[in-house]
Amino acid sequence: MKRVVLACKPQDARAQALAEELAHWLAARGCEVRRWPERREDTALADWAELAVVLGGDGTLLHVARAFVDKKAPVLGVNLGRLGFLTDAPAGSVKDTLSEVLAGRFKLKTHFALVVEAEDTQGVRPLGHVLNDLALQRGAHPRMIGFELFARDQFVFRLRGDGLIISTPAGSTAYALSAGGPIIHPEVDAIGIVPICPHTLSNRPIVLPATMEIMLAFVEGEEAALHLDGQFQVRLRPGARVRVKKGDSVRLVHLPGRHYFDVLRTKLGWAGERRCG
């Protein structure tokens, strides 16, 4: 890996300083280093790269990784944020981590994205990829919204409430988990459906095969907001439809000693010590 892209959390002095230090360190080892633009996605740069290194939290990684969906270059997340489910490489030992990666001593985990499009009176609008989740929520009006859910053209339910979250396995430990959704292991090819404060308490989270195409129809309320990975927002009016299907994947770098359940215990603060084995 000789072509490396460095991406930083915008306006973060610590991330910027570390990126500058790593740029010199990588250049001394024969790598060509380019910086990722802060405010936009650069697919040409993603095509050029052989490795992307993201310095920040999960939000920064999601912003950058969307451009690396269906690209050859893997993405290494260095945690400068808080929980860091996706950016789990510690900042204090980032050079040791990069030495292992440049030497080829790492493993790759693929995380599929969801392809989202909205359809209304203005036509069909492609909204791109999401790696964590999309959330249909009530807009500025405080009243509940009503919507209908379809999976593979089959009617699932009509729900009134604050909204609904559709998550990938990677996103199941984010907003969906806070709303009471299940944790989906990243090796499970599935999509989580999590109601947000449903008016009918029997509406519970469900898990669907990732091969099912999902459609949400906004049928009741003055306005709704569609949030993509918690970073982009699209306003919807009654009658709008949102279509979601499984897309291509992004590849994330992890070191061989990293295990998913270790991450869950550490990040979620699960208690208990191992006593057998």
The yes-or-no answer on residue 58 being catalytic is: yes
Number of H helices, E strands in the chain: 6, 16
Please choose, from the candidates 49, 43, 39, the residue with its C-alpha nearest in 3D space to the C-alpha of residue 6.
49
Tell me how far apart the alpha carbons of residues 159 and 195 are, in angstroms, rounded to a whole number: 8
Cβ neighbour number for residue 140 with a 10 Å cutoff: 8
Residue where the block lists tokens 């593979």: 152
Maximum distance among all Cα pairs of the chain, rounded to whole angstroms: 61
Tell me how far apart the alpha carbons of residues 98 and 252 are, in angstroms, rounded to a whole number: 14
Asked if 73 contacts 52 with a C-beta cutoff of 8 angstroms, the reply is yes
Distance of alpha carbon 28 from the chain centroid: 33
Which residues sit opposite 151 in a β-bridge?
154, 214
Cβ neighbour number for residue 74 with a 10 Å cutoff: 23
Which residues sit opposite 70 in a β-bridge?
none
Catalytic residue among 12, 42, 47, 58: 58
In this structure, the strands spanning 232-236 and 224-228 are antiparallel
Residues carrying an active site annotation:
58
